[in-house]
Amino acid sequence: MAKKRPQTKAGKPQLRDGEIPVVGAREPCPCGSGRRYKACHGRAAAHAVTELVQRPFEGLPGECDWVALRELVPAATATLTLKGGLPEDVPSVTLATVLPMAWPALRRDDGSVLLGLQNDTSSGDISRDLADTLQRALVAEPGTPVAAQRVPADGVRLQELLDADADFEPTVHSGFEFWVPDSAGSATPEVAASLERANAAAIPTVKLSGVEAAYWCETPEKNHLRWVMPHPEEHLLDALARLHAAGASSIGEGTRLVGSFRAHGLMVPVWDLPSSMGAEECEKPAAELVERLAKALATDGPLTAEERRARGGLTNRQVTLS
């Protein structure tokens, strides 16, 4: 059996915990202990950054739309407003669902920044990961993508960087042509290939204009309405169960409430729609459902037996996305 290596004293001054920088897991710990980072101060750091934040977008304007763009919408953008304004050499910051080659962010030739939302993250807090990427994109060289990296546990979050009073208004696109600005000419072969693949996989999607965070989408067999709602899950399930038991949960003839997603701490009810029903045909019945749902949410009494059965059916048809 191999002998254990004796622990050697560090040849440099010891650092306090608050001063320990984040390094690679297999690198020597900067504290000078002689151990690898993952076996020393990296343990606490790894635990801190992997602890799951249930509602990472809570407190941001348009939380429901953030969830939709992260999980449901193929191609969309939204302008982001920073606290204190933009740096002098950054004309704009735009959130995008997906970027070429799945880049976390891109600093364009003109200095503008694109921040990708649908990327794998290194921690349990998407807001912290995105904020770190955004900060690095703001100072990146124009014309370069920003790579992913492990995020410090004490890093800032989007809620600290973005203006909480600014509007968040997503624009849904039919494809990913927004990757290539009109003035940029032809895309590189890599970006062009990535653009072709992304466009081929994108499901046609439209954001309803009359209600918040509701997205119509078209699939080969039928259409769907996916609606991210801000209400607490248990309360919303009760309200939907009341409507379902009363035969009032549809959004028009031939439509059916079929279940829901859970995503980033919010609930996303899903309706099946006839293939002939487009986004425009959803607007009026969706607005009418808002009124019925408000009354159901305001009802405090216990559920009836039929409502409890309806609630059980809805609960059994929930799928957790995140």
Residue of 55, 108, 113 whose CA lies nearest to 81: 113
Q: Residue for token digits 């918040």?
A: 212
Q: What are phi and psi of 182, to 5 degrees?
A: -60, -35
% of residues, the chain, pLDDT over 90: 71
pLDDT digits (tens, 9 = 90+) for 64-118: 999 999 999 999 999 999 999 999 999 999 999 999 989 999 999 999 999 999 9
**215 CB neighbour count, 10 Å cutoff:** 24
- CB neighbours of 245 closer than 8 A, spacing ≥ 6? 304, 306, 307, 309, 310
**Model confidence at 40, in pLDDT bands (50, 70, 90)?**
confident
174: Cα separation from own chain's centroid: 19
Averaged pLDDT, 181-195: 73
Contact 236, 287 (CB under 8 A): no
The per-residue pLDDT of the chain, averaged, comes to 89
